Structure formats: structure tokens, C-alpha cells
Amino acid sequence: MVKHSRGMAELYRTEDCWAIWLGLFIIFAAMTAFWGGTTLKDIAVTPGSWSNFEELAADVQKHLGAYGLIYIGFGIAFTLSMAAMGQNIREYVPGYTIIFLGSLGIFYLASWRVMKTAHLGAPLLALVVGLIIGNLKRMPEWFQTSMRTEYYIKTGIVLLGATLPFTLILTAGPVAFLQATIVSVVTWLTIYLAATRLFGLDPRFGAVLGAGGAVCGVSASIAVGGAVRAKKDHIAIGIGVVSIWAIVMIFSLVILTKVMIPPPAELASTPDSIMTITPGEAGAWIGTSEYADAAGFAVVAELAHEYGEAAIHTFTLMKVIGRDIWVGIWAFVLSVISVMFWEQTAGQRNVRAGVIWERFPKFVLGFFAASIIISVIAANAPEDHQGKAAVEGVFKSHLGKEQYKADFSGYLPPPALAARFHFSPAEGTIAFDGKMSYDQLDALTAAAATKDQKTALKQLHYKSDWFESILATQAISPIKKLRSWCFVFCFLCIGLSTRIKDLLVFGMKPFWAFTIGVLVNVPLGFFLSTYVFAEYWKAIR
């Protein structure tokens, strides 16, 4: 007898692996363009701000070709992968087209100045619009084929790896793991004990509910459910309970964090208090208290709209590194416990340690690979890089824009830096050889006589950083734009596929068992993120 290997099929039959192939291909394309002296910036676009119809029309006309290329590029990649996974591509293609056009509409809605003033970004708008449409009208069966929430978010997470330095993963990863483990174990025990001791539910059902709240949402419920041999109904109920709470937490955490994070201009000056947190702390809290990657990214992507990438980075460290990658271990341990104590035929089946790798969320490998690739490239900046800044211009930072017009004709740099600092009156520029450190910026600024000179030197500091001023703008920025597209596809699909009425199929006992877990998880996550480990999360930008 010969048994065929099924292992290789995972390379083309799972969304995880296709997210890796597509994500790394996009990174490869961006870097190839960069090394070839060009950039994908003109193709990887999202709409610009507009406040009247003329501005809207001009923006659409400007970017129409790029939108077409994004539609075709993603369309080909997603369609081929859907075919490989055995999906019906005659259903997928029209559905993807609708999702793409819907996402484009969401992007334009979000870039309307009215929405910007109301601090409503594309992620939240995609979710809200999707929920309204999806609950007013059931999506047809054929459209379900294109609502691949997990596939889109996993592709986005692989692309996210390109923006997260691998050194940060190595240094902050252990802290994320420690905090996540504390919260996960406490949450799982709370839900399990509430389910079994308080409400008398089957221990395997308690384990499935606990995994949904403690590890990574529905995916963990499925992984643990299979490991402990849960009843079919328990899986269905677990999916309903976890999904409802994940959606509720999206809105709750968006509101709470937006209230508690000071405006960007006041972040540095706002004193610490119980009611204020930084974006980094918010991301860590969301990472422990959201129940699905997609749901959590909806919150932090919304925060990024106003506060930058810090919340996305800390969320990713906490959720992906701290929780997701350990689902296989949870499945293995709980299967051992199930065999020994819960199953009626206790001890009569073997438990394989191989399940730890089998259940490992493989897309995380793509995330790591993306981070390593960009980190290696960033660490090998050209030694002869010279940063150059105009003496007149606009300096942009997370605090806003500063216009300046500086005169460096009488400027004398500190003697230690005189050989590296250059002023060209003919070009109207200042230049610095190599990367300028913050200490060097302070020294140069101390010698400046006017505010405009100081602003020009801040611009020069930015331009001296090859990674920030060259690699990030030419190669990583397009990757981030395409990541935004994947995220909005995902959030729109979450909204369209969430029919509240259909999810309310569970009895109250599992719901309350899970809710007791939420009531422990959320404050515990907040306490660990904003007090115990606050200094780690505050330091991450």
C-alpha cells in the first residue's frame, strides 16, 4: 500500500501560503523597481484629499490609470490563487470587482475633508458601510466566494512585515510574548472555568470558547476544536460568540483609544495620567483584547490614520508574535488534556506533537521574511550617502507642516562637524555626509541663530537618513499603500459578511461564559499595557 503525501499541497491550497507568495512578490517588485532607479509610487496609490467635486474629479483623473493597474494586478494574483485553492473563479472575478470598486469608493469617502475633520478613516468606514449594506441585504451566495477576509488580511500582514524592523521583533518580541501569555492563560482559564463550573458546559466546549477569547479568535476555536474533538454545534456556537464580541470590540476599542490618546500635537507634552495613553500602548492593549487579527487591524489601522504606525507595530508584536504563533501549542496541550480527561474513550487515541507545526499560522513566516529582507537592505545603506535639503521649503512631521526660509550665509557649524556640513548658496541647499545622529542635530541646531535655520536642519537630519528619506519613500511607501488596499478589502468584507441576526444562534450560557472572560481580559490587558510594560510600548514608534 502506498500513501500519497499531502504536505506539499499546503503550498498552493491554503490562503496562508498564497499570502506569502503575493506579499513577497509585491516586495520583490518594489525593490526591483527601486534598484532599477525607479519606483512603484506612481502605481501604488490611494486617493488624495478633496473638498469639492472639482478636486474629486481631478484626483480620479490623475490616478485612474494606477487604479486600473492595481485592480488588474491584485485581480490576477487573487484569481490564480483562488483557482489553485479550488474556488469558483467565475464567481470570484465579479465579486472581486465589486469589492475593489467598493474599496475605492471607501477610500474616496475617507479622503473627503469632512470625514478627515471627523477623524473617520477608511478602515472604520469600510466596516460601517459593509455592516449597513450586509445587514440590510443578504449577500448572494456567489458573492461569498470573493469575501476572503482572512486572505486579504494575511496578505496585508505579510506586507506589514516590510515596515517592522526585525531588530524590533527580536527585542520587543519577548516582552510581547510574556504579556500575551499572562493575558491568554488568565483569559482562557476564566472562560473555561465560567463555562464548565458556572454554566455546566462540556469541557471541550469550554476549551473552544476559551481559545477563541485567549489565542486568536475563530481560527483558534477551529484549531482547538479539531484537537479536542468538539461537537459540530460547539464550533458553530463558538464562531458566533467570538465573532459578535470581536465586532463589538472593534467599535469599543476605537472609541476608547481615540478618547484616551491625546491629539498628535499634544502627545509629547501631555502628562501621564490614568486616562491618557500613547498610540504604542493602545496597540499593545488592542493586541491583547481583540479576538481576531482582522478585527484588531481594523482598530489600529483606524488609529494610524491620525497617529502614525506605532499602534500597528505594537499590535502586531502583541497579537501576531505574542498570541497567533502559539496556537499550535495550545492545540497540542489541550488535545493531551482532552485525551486524558475529557473524552469518553479517554486515552484511546494518540496525540501527535506534529500538530504544533501543522497548526502554525504559516503566513507569519512571510511576515518574518518581509521584515528580514527590508532590515538587511536598510542595514546596508550606501556609505557615500549625502543628505541634501533646500534652505527653503516645508518640513513635514507627525506634528504637522512647518514652512521655512533659512539663510545660512553666516552660519558656522561646530568644528567637529564642519568637514561634514556643506552649504551651497548657488544651489540653495545644505548637505551632510553620512547619517546625522540626534546628538549631531542638537549640536548643529545649537549653532543656529534663527527658527528657520533650525527647521532647515531638521529637514537635513531627515534627508541624511538614507532609509527614511530614500528607501522608505521610494520602496516602502508603495508597499504600505498596497497594504492599505488589502486592509480595506478585508474590512469591507467583514462588514458585508457579518449578519448580526445569523450570528445570534447561541444560547446565553456560552455567551455569558465568554463575556465573563472579556470582563477580565480587557482591564487586564489595559493594566499590563499601560502600567506594567508601558515603557516598552511607549518607546515604539
Partner 1 sequence: MLGKRGGPGPDADLLTCEDCEFFNNDPREIENLFQGIRILSSAYSSTRGNAGLCAVHDLFMNPGAPCAHFRRSPRSPVESEGP
Contact partners, residue 326, CB within 8 Å, separation at least 6? 181, 184, 215
Q: How far is CA 241 from the centre of its chain?
A: 23
The neighbouring-strand residues paired with 273 are 276
Judged by beta carbon, residue 123 or residue 478, the one nearer partner 1 is: 123
CA–CA gap between residue 362 and residue 359 (Å, rounded): 8
CA atoms within 13 A on the CB side of 309: 17
Q: Is 434 helix (H, G, I), strand (E, B) or coil?
A: coil
CA–CA gap between residue 214 and residue 275 (Å, rounded): 26
Asked if 342 contacts 231 with a C-beta cutoff of 8 angstroms, the reply is no
CA–CA gap between residue 165 and residue 371 (Å, rounded): 6
The neighbouring-strand residues paired with 387 are 432
Contact partners, residue 272, CB within 8 Å, separation at least 6? none
Residue type, 394: V
Cβ 375 to partner 1 shortest distance, Å: 24
> Which H or E element spans position 170?
helix 166-193
Catalog residues that contact partner 1 under the rule CB under 8 A.
1-4, 6, 10, 13-17, 85-87, 144, 147-151, 216-220, 222-223, 225-227, 229-232, 234-236, 239-240, 242-243, 246, 291-292, 294-295, 327, 335, 349-350, 355, 358-363, 493-494, 497-498, 502-503
Cβ 242 to partner 1 shortest distance, Å: 7
Judged by beta carbon, residue 31 or residue 124, the one nearer partner 1 is: 124
Judged by beta carbon, residue 260 or residue 486, the one nearer partner 1 is: 486
Judged by beta carbon, residue 112 or residue 487, the one nearer partner 1 is: 487
Judged by beta carbon, residue 235 or residue 457, the one nearer partner 1 is: 235
Backbone angles phi, psi at 354, to 5 degrees: -60, -20
Judged by beta carbon, residue 103 or residue 474, the one nearer partner 1 is: 103
Judged by beta carbon, residue 229 or residue 420, the one nearer partner 1 is: 229
Cβ 311 to partner 1 shortest distance, Å: 20
Supply the DSSP symbol for 386.
Answer: E
Asked if 150 contacts 15 with a C-beta cutoff of 8 angstroms, the reply is yes
Cβ 423 to partner 1 shortest distance, Å: 56
Cβ 382 to partner 1 shortest distance, Å: 39
Q: How far is CA 194 from the centre of its chain?
A: 32
Judged by beta carbon, residue 475 or residue 493, the one nearer partner 1 is: 493
Cβ 284 to partner 1 shortest distance, Å: 21
Alpha-carbon distances, residue 469 vs 39, 358, 385, 465 (angstroms): 14, 41, 11, 6
Judged by beta carbon, residue 40 or residue 222, the one nearer partner 1 is: 222
Cβ 519 to partner 1 shortest distance, Å: 21
Cβ 180 to partner 1 shortest distance, Å: 17
Judged by beta carbon, residue 16 or residue 281, the one nearer partner 1 is: 16
Cβ 490 to partner 1 shortest distance, Å: 10
Judged by beta carbon, residue 149 or residue 163, the one nearer partner 1 is: 149
Cβ 295 to partner 1 shortest distance, Å: 6
Supply the DSSP symbol for 415.
Answer: G
CA–CA gap between residue 64 and residue 69 (Å, rounded): 9
Contact partners, residue 141, CB within 8 Å, separation at least 6? none
Cβ 533 to partner 1 shortest distance, Å: 26
> Which H or E element spans position 429?
strand 429-433
Alpha-carbon distances, residue 288 vs 129, 185, 334 (angstroms): 26, 11, 21
Supply the DSSP symbol for 50.
Answer: B
